[in-house]
Each structure stands twice: as structure tokens, then as C-alpha cells.
Chain A
């Protein structure tokens, strides 16, 4: 088994996450897909750290997790405020920027 398999897995998970973001309409599900993409990235980081034999990959992965956490917090707060004002969690309704 070649170590690159982990990279292929992370690529696949990342793509699924991307499709999820584009296809799903519920804000929270979209948010989860983003989390999935972040995790995929973390997986490849860890794999690279193992390939290169240095721990930098893991430290960066760690930082990614922290950022992801912040992002989730703020993102969900936004979703809640939108939900409170609009009673719907679908992101298509928030299209005031349309021409």
C-alpha cells in the first residue's frame, strides 16, 4: 500500500465536500461540507508531515483545526441571525445581491 493512497482519499473527500457546497441548499449542510473539505486538507497535511519526516505538517493541521473552529462559530452565528430574521435556513433566499 503506497502512502499516496491517503492523498487520493483526501482529494476524493475534498471533491465530495466541494460538490456538497454547490449542490445542497440547507445552510448548515453546506457548512458541514466545508468542514469536510477542511478535514480532507488536514489529512493530506498529516500525510505530508509523515512523508517529509518533520512535524510541521501536523502543526499546520493543528492551526487549521483552530481556524476551522473559529469559522464554525462565526458561521453558525450568522446562520442563526439569518434564520431569526428570515425563518428559513436555505441559502437561496439570501440573494438580495442579485441585479
Chain B
């Protein structure tokens, strides 16, 4: 493996930015954000430079490593703090730093009036550094450090305005649910070390062939739990909706483009584990399919624009996990969809941000309407993103999502039909709720009262949105041209086995487009043509009530975990006081009690003492009598 000493700068720049901004405190308020954006851009430049170098090298010597220092070495457990840059991680690095820098620029004006802007940029840089460490780590343990670092950064960013109690609870909820996922990752590392003796990706890859399938399945399931925790997949998805408590750029960066995709990266990075454990792989696909439908259904009922986009993110990541669960064939398309999703979802979130900016932080779509005339640029960029996500042909979403649906259908047998079917159904529902968002926000008649004065956002905000919109248009075409991206990632994965062509690609695309058309039509009928009142109607189907309350995910979590947890805690506290402490105090009480009861026998009368002596003598004689019997 070729060593290259430039990798560390990728992480060092944003890390330096974060640490310096936090330590300098108030003094860095005036120029703090500029430094942060510059450092993020610098890191992007290093990324580009590394890409150009990597393209220059032949396929075998593309992956590059850099050993910083030996982190932990105890007996046979030795882990070096070293970085690995190969085709997979370079695509992630560019996505993270590219979208990250755009969001930095966007935040400069979005957070202009916030007193703690410096702290916000410090957290953003900390996030980017942690995410880069996650994707550049060469062993599961290094990945784990980045993994929890990202969890910490998201905790800080979600709870940025933590003077509001609700936001503080949301950040705590996010961190705790991530921690449950991280528990899965630590199990995975333990299993890897216990059964394979190594935790580095290359080491596990070598030993994967020899290892027993049971170990590999266990490892795969644990990695899946980790991915589910971080990427807000079913069953650990309840925190994503509340994560919208953070400022919108945070939602764009973390909860659309980068952090939530870490789960997909982990599964694709450990492709050798899942290839050796088919039923773990199937489970991944199933989880992807369930979340895909779950997120889409929630998306249809959400009135808060950010929550709707969050639900759509959950569903799109369901697609990626589904893709990753389809084995070698699906890995490349999952990552491709991840990148295109990074563009259009981040673009849409920034669009939502500029809409909120214009409507002074109003998030309820039912209070929007006819913003097309007041925010033309936001409307155009948001529209391009919308077209990309529902998969209209020339746009990015079409290429990546269609390929996913196609691989799902061709996965063969009943599995193919089921997974492909859910993917198609998902495409339809996605089209429905995305059109609903577009109509409610931009094209439907005005529903906001007059003291709102929607205005277009300043240049610094709409330029990144425009770039992302362009990205969401051309990225699909570029990556898919002659399967360029698939060949780019191919050397990393095993050869996909031959499988039957259930349906030719043209038919698949046709099917997908019809589903999309149906979805759009329903949405137009329901929201564009008929009158929409500004207060959410109550007499709606039972199902919509469920969807509004996130399909009861919070209620279930509270009933299953939180309340029993609280019950256990209070029970144990009572036990600790009464039983264990009581036992100790009890011994004390017993001593005092027996003392006072004995005191009563001292009556002071000579005759009672004489009686006691007599009783004693009688007892003695009785004992002798018994003994000599």
C-alpha cells in the first residue's frame, strides 16, 4: 500500500479551525466564520488534489495510507492511528468537504444575526473533521472514534440553541439513540478481535474467507445495528425528526448529506463481511425497504417543511441501505445515489432555510403558498432539486434511483419482486409528498397573513443553493456515463455473480416513471386544484393521524424503553435506600434493641435476682439430666 503524508491535512485543517475558534472565545467573533469557511475550502482543495493524484495512478496503487502513530498496543490488540484513502473514501471526502464548504458559505449569512455564530462555525468544523476521520480511518476502531465524534458534533449542533428546553431534549435524544447504535459497533469490534484477532479493514478482509459464517453473520448484524443507529433507519429512527431543532444549515449538512450516510459507508466499507454472511445482507436489504416505506409515509403527513424533508431523507437512505443490501451489484449504485442525494437534498434543505429566512422562521407549510413570485431563485433551485429527487429522467435522481430499483428487481426470485416492488411503491409516494411540498410552498394560492413580507434571500445564501442545484442536475448524468462510477468503485468489491435479467432496463424505467406520474397527479389534484386551509384539518383518516405523529415511533420508544427505564431507576433508588442501606442501619438498630430489652431484666429486687439464679440452676440440672440420659 503506497504511503502518502498529505492525508492528515484533510482532518488537521478543520480540526485546527474548531479548536482555535473554541479556545479563542469572544476574540475570534469578527473573523471566526471566515477562518472556518477558508479551512473547510482548504480541506476540499486537498481532497481535489488527492483525487487528481489518485486518477493519475493505475488502479492497483490507488489506495493510499498514512500511519500517524501507534494508538493502542496491548498484547495482540494493537491499533495504529493511521488513515486510508481509496476510491470509496475519496468520493466521500469530496462530498463532505464540497457540500460542507457550500454550507459554510450559506451559514455566514444565515447565522449573520446570531450572537454565537463563532461557536456555530467551530462546531461545523469539528463535525467535518470528525466525519473525515470516520471515512479516512483504516480500522474499525479509528472509524469508531470518528463515529462518536460525529455523534458529539451533532449533539452540539442540534442543541445549538439549547436555551430552549425542547431543543436540549432533542439533542440529548439524538446522542442517546446514536449511542445505542454505537454499542452495536463496539460489539462488532469486539467480535472481530475475539474471533479474527484484528480490527483493521484489511485484516478483517483477509480473515473473512476463513471465518465461520456464524461469526460473520454476528459481525454483520452488529454493523447493521451501528448503521441503523447512525443513519436513523428503522427501528432507531425516532431522533431524526427531532433533530430538526438545529439550525437549517445543520440539517442540510448533517441530516441530509453526510452524517446520516455514515451508516451506508460502514456497510459498503465492510462489504467483505456482508458478502460472507448472506442472511445478514438480506436483513440489511429488508431494513432498507422497511425504512424506505416508513419514511415516505411520515413524509406525506408532515406540515413542518423541515420534518417533511427529514422524513424524505430517511426514506432516501432506506434506498441506499436497500442498495447496499443487494450485494456487490448494489454497492456502487448505493454510493452513487448517496452522492446525488447529497446534492439535491442539501440544496432543498438550504431552499427550505431561505424560505424560513424570508417568512421569519415560519416552518408550517400550510402558512406558505404562492412564494413562487416572491422567491424566484429559491423556487428554481428548490424545483431542480425536487425534479431530481422524484427521478425525472435528465436529473440526477433518475439515474441513481432507477439503477437501484433495477438491481432490486433483478436480485432474483421472490426477494427481487418484493424489494423491487417496495422500491417502486416508494418512488411513487416520494413523488407524491415532494410534489405536495412544492405545491404547498410555491404554487398554491397565498395563505400567509399580511404582516409576513417574504423576500428573496441574499446572494451569499442563494449562490450555494444554485451550485447544489446544478450539481443535482448534472451529477447523475456524469457519474452514470458509461457506468463510470461503477467502474471507479469496482476494484474495491468482489465480482457480482451473474443473475437473471427479470426485466430489461427500459421497462424498469418506464414502470418507475409511471409510478412517479401517478404520485404527482394525486398531489396536484389534492393540493393544487382544491382549496387548502391554513389549519391542519382534524377530520382525516386514522392513518394520517398516525403519520402526523411519526407512526407512533416516539410513543412506542417511550412505552418500550423510557418508562420501564425510569421505573427501574426509581425502583433501584428505593431499593438502594431501603434494602441495602436499611440492612446496614438495621444491624445498628438490632444492637440497640437487644440492649434495651436486656435492661428490663435488671429490676433491682434481690428476690428477682435470686429467682434468676434458681432458674439458671434448674436449667443446668436439666442440661446435666439430658446429657446423662
Contacts and interface: CB of A to CB of B under 8 A. Distances in A.
B381 to A, nearest CB: 95
A98 B603 contact: yes
Contacts, number: 31
Contacts of B617: 18
B506 interface: no
B27 interface: no
Nearest to A21: B610
B507 interface: no
Contacts of B605: 91-92, 95, 98
B599 A91 contact: no
B607 interface: yes
Interface in B591-607: 599, 602-607
B459 interface: no
Interface in A1-58: 18, 21-23, 25
Interface of B: 599, 602-607, 610-611, 614, 617
A96 interface: yes
23 contacts: A18-B614, A18-B617, A21-B607, A22-B611, A22-B614, A23-B607, A25-B607, A91-B607, A92-B605, A92-B606, A92-B607, A94-B606, A95-B603, A95-B605, A95-B606, A96-B604, A97-B604, A98-B602, A98-B603, A98-B604, A99-B599, A99-B602, A99-B604
A21 B617 CA distance: 14
Nearest to A33: B610
Given A95-B603, A99-B602, 7 more contacts: A18-B617, A21-B607, A21-B610, A91-B605, A92-B607, A95-B604, A95-B606
Contacts of B611: 22
B604 A22 contact: no
A25 B610 CA distance: 12
Nearest to A24: B607
A27 B555 CA distance: 86
A21 B611 CA distance: 9
Interface class of chain B by DSSP: helix
- Kindly list the 8 A-B residue pairs having the minimum CB-CB distance in the complex, ordered from nearest: A98-B604, A95-B604, A22-B611, A22-B610, A97-B604, A91-B606, A21-B610, A95-B605
Interface string A63-99: 0000000000000000000000000000110111111
Interface residues of A, number: 13
Contacts of B603: 95, 98
A94 B609 CA distance: 13
Contacts of B614: 18, 22
Contacts of A98: 602-605
Contacts of B599: 99
A29 B284 CA distance: 102
Nearest to B604: A98
Nearest to A18: B614
Nearest to B605: A95
A75 to B, nearest CB: 12
Nearest to B611: A22
A21 B614 CA distance: 10
A56 to B, nearest CB: 23
A22 B607 contact: yes
B265 to A, nearest CB: 82
A18 B606 CA distance: 13
Contacts of A22: 607, 610-611, 614
B474 to A, nearest CB: 102
A31 to B, nearest CB: 12
A23 B614 CA distance: 12
A35 B606 CA distance: 17
B464 to A, nearest CB: 91
Contacts of A25: 607
B22 to A, nearest CB: 72
A94 to B, nearest CB: 7
B624 to A, nearest CB: 14
A91 B617 CA distance: 22
Nearest to A97: B604
Contacts of B607: 21-23, 25, 91-92
A21 B603 CA distance: 17
A98 B610 CA distance: 15
Nearest to B606: A91
Nearest to B607: A22
Nearest to A34: B610
Contacts of B606: 91-92, 94-95
A88 B344 CA distance: 114
A92 to B, nearest CB: 6
